[in-house]
């Protein structure tokens, strides 16, 4: 098994939405290598199975459960499944999300609703379903976006959904602090993931120029940020909004 010498998450139980590809997949692999038992969820059973195989081939423990996080009944079922197999949750990574272009004046109702259903409501519903099974020391991580901090044109609905997620994270941090549960938010800029579609290589080359560091992010860059915030090393950190963005938020 490929493991870390430090094993920051030894004995921890983590659930990751959108765990079949991109950032979720990279985070599942890293968490497993750091000692966590992992449950991944998403809407594509084939992608979930492929990611789970990677973890298991390394000697890790990975469970999969298909579901749509914008549907409360699915979130309840996912939580019940994870609790039954793992006996509680230490880490929830609300990673699943979708991206759509559009200005305020041309974003149709369906696009607006789908962005908020997945990016915001899904985060709230998954948290609502899993908080009862969390104890002191548990953590919720929400994957927002640098666009939630600093919007750009043609991203109105997406940026708004991620800004709302940032605010929701701060509310969670305040509401759950008394229970010893932390909540933090990661804000990536452009990361090389399947969300960018077939022309991603050319797009990534163009997007790299917008980042002060001159490169786009890789899924592992976000996974390592999630690892730190999920670990006991961050035990006194809650309610933070962490840009992992190549400097774009200050450009």
Q: Does residue 158 carry a catalytic annotation?
A: yes
For residues 215-244, b (16+ Cβ closer than 10 Å) or e, as one string?
Answer: ebbebebbbebbbebbbeebeeebbebbbb
Nearest to 248 by CA among 199, 202, 207: 207
Task: Give the whole-angstrom CA distance, residue 159 versus residue 151.
Answer: 6
SS3 148: helix
Given the residues 129, 158, 191, 229, select the one marked as catalytic: 158
Architecture of domain 13-246: 3-Layer(aba) Sandwich (3.40)
Map out the domains of the chain as residue ranges. 13-246
pLDDT per residue, tens digit, the chain (251 aa), is 556 678 999 999 999 999 999 999 999 999 999 999 999 999 999 999 999 999 999 999 999 999 999 999 999 999 999 999 999 999 999 999 999 999 999 999 999 999 999 999 999 999 999 999 999 999 999 999 999 999 999 999 999 999 999 999 999 999 999 999 999 999 999 998 876 655 577 788 888 888 989 899 999 999 999 999 999 999 999 999 999 999 998 87
Task: Give the whole-angstrom CA distance, residue 122 versus residue 73.
Answer: 11
Surface-to-core class of residue 71, CB atoms within 10 Å of its CB (0-12 exposed, 13-18 middle, 19+ buried)? middle
pTM for the structure as a whole: 0.95
Tokens 């759509």 sit at which residue?
100
């Amino acid at each position: 098994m490929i493991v870390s010498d430090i094993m920051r998450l030894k004995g921890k139980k983590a659930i990751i939405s959108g765990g079949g590809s991109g950032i979720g997949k990279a985070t599942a692999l890293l968490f497993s290598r750091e000692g966590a038992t992992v449950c991944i969820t998403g809407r594509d059973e084939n992608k979930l199975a492929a990611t789970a195989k990677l973890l298991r081939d390394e000697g890790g423990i990975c469970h999969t459960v298909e579901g749509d996080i914008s549907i409360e009944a699915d979130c309840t079922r996912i939580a019940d499944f994870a609790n039954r197999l793992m006996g509680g949750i230490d880490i929830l990574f609300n990673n699943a999300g979708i991206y759509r272009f559009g200005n305020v004046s041309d974003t149709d109702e369906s696009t607006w609703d789908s962005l908020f259903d997945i990016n915001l409501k899904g985060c709230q519903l998954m948290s609502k379903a899993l908080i009862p099974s969390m104890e002191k020391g548990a953590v919720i991580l929400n994957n927002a976006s640098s666009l939630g901090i600093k919007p750009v044109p043609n991203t109105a609905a997406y940026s708004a959904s991620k800004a709302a997620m940032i605010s929701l994270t701060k509310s969670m941090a305040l509401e759950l602090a008394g229970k010893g549960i932390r909540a933090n938010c990661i804000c990536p800029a452009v990361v090389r993931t399947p969300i960018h579609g077939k022309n991603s290589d050319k797009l990534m080359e163009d997007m790299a120029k917008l980042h002060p560091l001159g490169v786009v992010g890789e899924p592992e860059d976000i996974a390592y940020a999630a690892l730190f915030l999920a670990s006991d090393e961050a035990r006194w950190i809650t309610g933070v909004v962490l840009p992992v963005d190549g400097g774009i938020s200050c450009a």
